Structures are given as structure tokens and as C-alpha cells.
Chain A
Amino acid sequence: MANLREVSVIGIGMSRFAKQPEVGIFDLTQAPVLEALEDAGVARERVQAAYCGSVFGGSGIGQKVLKGIGMSGIPILNVENACSSGSSAFREAWLAVASGMVDVALAFGTEKLTALGGGAFPLSEEDIEADQGVLMPAVYAMRARRHMAEYGTTIEQLAKIAVKNHRNSVHNPRAQYRREYTLEEVLNSRMIADPLTLLHCCPNSDGAAAVVVAATEVGERFHGKPVKVRASVLQSGLFKNDFRDMTKSDLSYRAAGAAYEMAGLGPQDVDVAEVHDAFTIGELMYYEALGFCLPGEGGRLIDAGATDIGGRIPVNPSGGLLSKGHPVGATGLAQIVEIVGQLRGTCGPRQVAGARIGLTHCTGGGVAGFDHIACTIHVFER
């Protein structure tokens, strides 16, 4: 690999995640950008490039947001990569700094899903399966049914993931849900795509998040506690028209392998992770892909409480997508905001004690013949 500079996160900001149709997308997004700049101690003139993740924000969303806070005339790139849009924007910012092109870059993401009118998330047009009525919950439901059949995973084990993440977000003031749910409430909520009920699925949300990165040698002059980026990986799905093992996300396995290699670390080194739990079965499958347990043993991992705060490998202390919410373009950046907070030790009652290495995993995009279209994994160290 080319000589890349070490990059650090020096500033973070995040809006509340919620259904907030009354808040315009510019206000929603500008506030966390300003928060991240202030957190970094960086004047806006120091930001040399900006990357904006959004799926439904429309043409020029990044420029439209930034012009309102006196940031124009710098290179701004709008990034659309389905649910990985925000984390892909972060990767572009990382790459701009790592390559030596700029010293300070901004990544932000935004989404107003309430503007779409609710219901299951719309999949892309011009897709052979979307045109025939498939929905994202049904894709994950088919994975769940197969995982249950092959490994004996139970619906209760899946429901425990929702219970855990809702328990965590009680302590996250920016989360969409902030109450605990019992196992029975998850199991008995309205059926969406059998066997997944409503509380196995993340909500539609409005929200935005922002992160400032800088070359570590430069960043130390700004924020007192820079968090280093040890790995940044983006992978795309491999097209297959025939048999695919839907219990194993081959894309996430591949991205995880690349991320651990780049970081020079293994799954046993990770102290805390934010994992793409758009659906409970997703978090369980990604435990396995990220190497937190062996393939097929995700159910036992949740049963053992290993992914609770205080467990062997806490996952989604923020509440995850299931409870914090999933404004798609902002999601990957909000995961990074949480992990940087965890590594700084500023997460209050949901803090993972002594966390030193953190990981974020964000994947998505429902297109026929793909596991997903994209997967991003980032590894951080304080």
C-alpha cells in the first residue's frame, strides 16, 4: 500500500435522532457540523474538503447545508452508498487526509426519512426483486429463517438483541427510543415480515452527524484527545445469480478480514463495537462475520450476555440502529461519533469501562444478486 499518513478523529457532533418532520434538513444538519468543528477546536476556514453522505437528500445536499454556515468554495463531494453512505463519506475524508492531499477534512451525513411518508424503506427501482415486492425486512427475515433452521437459533435469541439495544439507549439522550422493552413486547409486537416483528426492525428516523478528521501530526494541535483511525475499509458486494449462503454475510466477512489486517489487530482486541443492526438478525450475523464468535454461534453469544455493556465484547452501547434510529445517510457517522465518545470515555452511564480499541461496521443496499451493495468497517484507537 502507498505511504498513508496516520489520521485522527478530532471532532464529533450529532443531532437527536427522531421523527422530527418539523425540523428542516438544513437546520438538522448544520447544528452537528458546527458542534463537530467546535469540538475539534477548528475554525471553519481550516477545513479543506468536505464529504456528505445522504441517500434521499438530493443533488448538491452537501453544498446546500454548508453554504448556510459560511463554508463554500472548498471541494465538496456528495456520497450515496445506501446505508453505508455516511461511513463511505467518512472513508473519503480519511483518504483525503491519509493521502496527504489535505490536513483537515469534514465528513457529515444527513437524512430526513419522515419526508418519505413512512412505511418500509423504499428499495431501488429498476431492480428485478424490488419490482416484485421484496422489502428489506423480508430479506433479513429470510436470513433469519435460514439461520434458525441451520443453527437452531431461536426467535427469543434474536429478540434479546432488541431488548439489549433498547436497554442501552435509555442512557443515550440523542436516541429515538429511550425506554426498555421486554422480551415479550418484542415478540408480541406487530408482525412485519415473518418471523420478524416490528421491534426486530429499526425505525425510520430523521437525523444528522458529523466528524472532523485531521492528520495526527496536525490534529494534536487542535483536540486534546485525538482518536486514531487504525483501519478504513470499504468493500462492495460480489454479484451472484445462484446459490448464496444467506446465513453468512460474505461481504461483511471480507470487509472484516481486510479491516483486521489493515489495523494489525484481531477480533479479540476489540473493546467495543457499533454494528449494523437494522434488524436483530443482522446484528447476530455480523457478530459472526466480525469474528466475535464462531459461525452459527451468534445466538449463544447473546444468551451469554457477552455483547452487553460490561460483557466480553459490548455491541451497540448507543442503542444501535434498532433503538437510536436509522437516518440512513447519518447512520455510519453516528456510529463513529459513539465509538469516539467511548474511546474518549465520555459516554456516561453507557460507557464501556477502559475501552481502547473500537470498531464500526455499516453495510446495506438491497439489490438482487448481492449480499449488500456496500460494507464499511473502521477501527479506532485512543
Chain B
Amino acid sequence: MIGESATRSGPFAHTANTVQRTMFMVLLALTPATLFNLYLFGWPAILLFAVTVGACVVAEAACLVLAGKPVSATLSDGSAILTGWLLAMTLPPWAPWWIGVLGAMFAMPLAKHAFGGLGQNLFNPAMVARVALLVSFPVVMTAWVAPHPLFTTGSPTLNEAMTITFAGETPDGVTAATALGYVKTELSRGVPVSESLQVYGRSSVLTYAPDLMDLATGFKPGSLGETSAGLILLGGIFLLWRRVITWHIPVMMIGTLFVMGTLFNAFDPTRFAPGFFHILSGSAILGAFFIATDYVTSPVTHKGQLVFGFGVGLLTWVIRTFAGYPEGMAFAVLLMNSLTPIIDQYTRPRMFGRTRKGDPLPVEGQQ
């Protein structure tokens, strides 16, 4: 069995990059959108965010202690913070505290440490948590509110926020449907998509698509991660620029979602929402740049990443369009996570000097 030894092989030069630095970059990329959305949804959102991230870190620490692994060294890699952060961004901002804590319980011990900790989990921990919560508490998990920016009339004070988050008392008359949810409900009542889109646009605080400015600013009901496509996209571009992620998964996922939406919308606009609506609503952008690109649970080859991105995009569209849930990104990611090992196996690069099958290349000019 191999061991570390004094006669260690080279190289005697290494990149400055570390896992910690990578996680830090992702957190940095998430910061603008997060800050803006915390502002947008006020104190209850801030409290829930803090509770969720805190619970994930505590849960990870507990798991490390139980597993007898180094606690502070592992915690400092920042992966628990990132999981909590991403989970918080997919929750209804005014959800009660126990949603965050329970989510952390699903994410850390169940989805991550039961598999062996960092790098070993098959499924994206944040998405496991979100889906488990959504399936277990469908009412709480779909109680969206309209934006109540901090320091504006109607925005809860810190004291009021305490009641909302910790006593679970949401004031009457603040709930609102997300764009995806509204369109889905209306369609089930027989209202054509094309019509409900227009009604939704007028009734919400501001219009939604296709006015890109409004989506970027994000004055619409939804989770922290879906109300500001513009800032999320900015974070995603930052990650591409810093080469933390490659374009393969996000472009494929968004592209597939857009193409499916556009094609079917052209075919029947009363039943199918347009492509722009699909990519700018829900957590499509967050999912494409921050969730589907999770290293651990996505394929390692670029070709595999293209397949993976395509699958996530397609399944998101299918679930949004035909299934019972208005948003399908989390389900789509988990389904594709389960395919990652097999995608990896079938998308290995061709070895130098060998055919795709692995046989040596024929020598030119020889029989």
C-alpha cells in the first residue's frame, strides 16, 4: 500500500490554488446578489440566512467530531459555509428558523458526511436539503413574499422579524406567488400561459420578463437566489473569469432551457412559457453557475460536463412544464448527480496515441 515517504516524487512546484481559495471565490461571487437580496427582503431574510449558514457549520463540526476528523482544519475549507449559503438562497426568505436548521440536518450529516465528507458525496447537499424540505413542508416552502426592502415602510423591524423567523408568524397579506408558481397555478385553472404572464407582470411589484432591467434588479417575489438574475449572472461571470468554473455546464444548461422554452412556446404559447421567462425566473441562473457546477457532484471531463448541463437544463424544463412543481432545478440537479459516475465513465478523453477504444493508433504507412 502506498505511503508518504522521504523519497517523494516531484513535482517540486505547485499551484498557489487551494480548495479553500476556490470556496472563497465562490462565496465572493455570491456576495453581491446575496447582499442585495437581504436588503430586498429585510430582517427576516437576514435572520434566516444567518441561522441556515450557522446551522450548517455547527452540523459539519458535529459530524467531524463524531467521525474523529480534524475539526478546525476541515471547517476552514469553507465548504460548509457555501452549502448553508446556497441552501439559504433557495429558501423562502421569510421562512421560520427551523426550516434552516432542519435543512442543515439534511445537508450535512445526511447528504455529505454519511457519504464520507468533502468530495465523497454523490448528491449536492444543498439541493438534497432543499428537496427534502420541499417534499416535507410544501406549504412553508412555497410561502413566498413580495420584496419589502429594508428602511422602507412595510419592511419589518428587527423585533418584528424575530417574530416572523423565530415564532413563525407571517403577517397577513404579504405572501405572493413567484412567477413560475403563478403561471403554473393559472394554467391549472385554465388560464393560458400567454395571458397569465401579462396579468402577473401587471400585478407584481414591478414587471418581470422580458424587461431585463427588472429581472436584474429583482423586485419580484422569490427566494434570495432567484430574484436577482443580473447580480447572480455577474457572480457567475466572475467565476468564469477567475477560472473557478468552466463554461460547459452553465452554457449548456441555460442554453438547453432556453431552446426548449423557445421551441415549445413557438409551438403553443398558451401552454408553454417562452425561453426568456424560463432562464430568468426561478433559480435557473443560480443553478447554472453555482449549483450544477458543484465540483464534487458533477462530471470531471468537459464532455461529461456538457452532457450534465444539457441534462439539468432539459429536466428543469420538463419538471417545470409537465410535473406538479413549479420549479424543477433542484430535482433536475439531483437526478443528474446520480448519473455523474456513469457520465464520467463514458466521456473519458481519448488517450494520447490511442484510439477511443484504447487500442494503440495504427502506424501510418504500415499494414
Q: Do A and B belong to a common assembly?
A: no
Contact residues of A with B, CB < 8 Å?
Answer: none
Contact residues of B with A, CB < 8 Å?
Answer: none
